[in-house]
Amino acid sequence: MEISFPKDVQYASNDEANRLIVSKFMLENVMNYRFYGEQLLVSEETFERMRDSIQEDEYKELLTFEVFHLLDTEKSDTASDIFLTNVDSDQYITDFYSAYEESRQTFGLLIFIAGILGFVFILSTGSILYFKQMTEAEQEKNHYRTLRQLGFQVNDMMKGIIRKQLFVYLIPLGIGLIHAAFALNVGSVLIAASMLTPIIISMAAYIVIYLIFAVLTIQYYKKIVKDAL
């Protein structure tokens, strides 16, 4: 469901000032992703007012977290080591860098497996189309021989062949690109991270592989046409 911003956020409080206006939404966390739920970033003044006025009951608990913002992200590994050496090992506390590396290794393996399977599938579908067109070219050899005897030149016949091959390869290519875009977009929502780079790489590989098969098919047809007489 699409939500428009700015929007109002209400919370139970001891006074009438129980409404906030959220001006912007970002698909990222202020704290580590292990802290579940939506995170609201407010000013210090607003936080003090909310803390003093919010209604307390048995279902609410006020917790305080110490959050460190690392300005130089290139030193994240060093900062992670320093942080973990000063944390009690019995406590379930983690930092962003450790969680990021762990998730990258996990999802990296899954992406690698999915990429290999996708690559094999693309080669399979491209090979099926390629060998099907080779079979049709052999079956149409007599037609090309007749056209050559009628005076048609190789370039004239190749124009029609190229248009046919573009039609044959572009339709599955277009469907595959649309499917890949939607699938990777859903994946980016599930892992709450941008997958623009994998989307571009996968689409580029998809296009290159199909273009290679299309060029090979056209070259094979050209050979058939030239050998028609």
**Mean pLDDT within 102-117:** 76
Q: Which domain holds residue 124?
A: 103-226
Q: What is the pLDDT of residue 187?
A: 67
Last residue within a domain, chosen from 41, 76, 97: 97
* pLDDT above 80: residue 114: no
Q: 3-class secondary structure for the chain?
A: CCCCCCEEEECCECCCCCEEEECCCCCCCCCCCCCCCCCCCCCHHHHHHHHHHECCCCCCCCCCCCCCCCCCHHHHHHHHHHHHHCCCCCCCCCCHHHHHHHHHHHHHHHHHHHHHHHHHHHHHHHHHHHHHHHHHHHHCHHHHHHHHHCCCCHHHHHHHHHHHHHHHHHHHHHHHHHHHHHHHHHHHHHCCCCCHHHHHHHHHHHHHHHHHHHHHHHHHHHHHHHCCC
Quickly state the pLDDT bin for 7 (edges 50, 70, 90): confident
In a domain, 114, yes or no: yes
Claim to verify: residue 200 and residue 124 sit in the same structural domain: yes
Claim to verify: residue 159 and residue 186 sit in the same structural domain: yes
In a domain, 180, yes or no: yes
Last residue within a domain, chosen from 43, 69, 97: 97
Q: What is the pLDDT of residue 37?
A: 65
In a domain, 63, yes or no: yes
Quickly state the pLDDT bin for 83 (edges 50, 70, 90): confident
Last residue within a domain, chosen from 47, 81, 97: 97
Distance from C-alpha of 203 to C-alpha of 149, rounded to nearest angstrom: 43
* pLDDT above 80: residue 208: yes
Among the residue ranges 14-23, 43-52, 141-150, the one predicted with the least confidence is 14-23
Claim to verify: residue 25 and residue 134 sit in the same structural domain: no
pLDDT digits (tens, 9 = 90+) for 173-192: 888 788 777 777 776 666 65
Q: What is the pLDDT of residue 13?
A: 66
In a domain, 2, yes or no: no
* pLDDT above 60: residue 4: no
* pLDDT above 50: residue 1: no
In a domain, 1, yes or no: no
* pLDDT above 60: residue 33: no
Distance from C-alpha of 94 to C-alpha of 32, rounded to nearest angstrom: 8
In a domain, 150, yes or no: yes
Claim to verify: residue 113 and residue 209 sit in the same structural domain: yes
Domain count, the chain: 2
CA angle 182, 185, 190 (to 5 degrees): 125
Q: What is the pLDDT of residue 100?
A: 73
Token pair in block for residue 79: 């900062």
Claim to verify: residue 82 and residue 132 sit in the same structural domain: no
pLDDT digits (tens, 9 = 90+) for 121-156: 888 888 888 898 888 888 888 888 888 788 888 888
- Contacts of 90 by beta carbon, 8 Å cutoff, 6+ apart: none
What is the DSSP pairing of strand 19-22 with strand 7-10?
Answer: antiparallel
Claim to verify: residue 159 and residue 83 sit in the same structural domain: no
In a domain, 168, yes or no: yes
**Mean pLDDT within 78-95:** 72
Distance from C-alpha of 87 to C-alpha of 36, rounded to nearest angstrom: 21
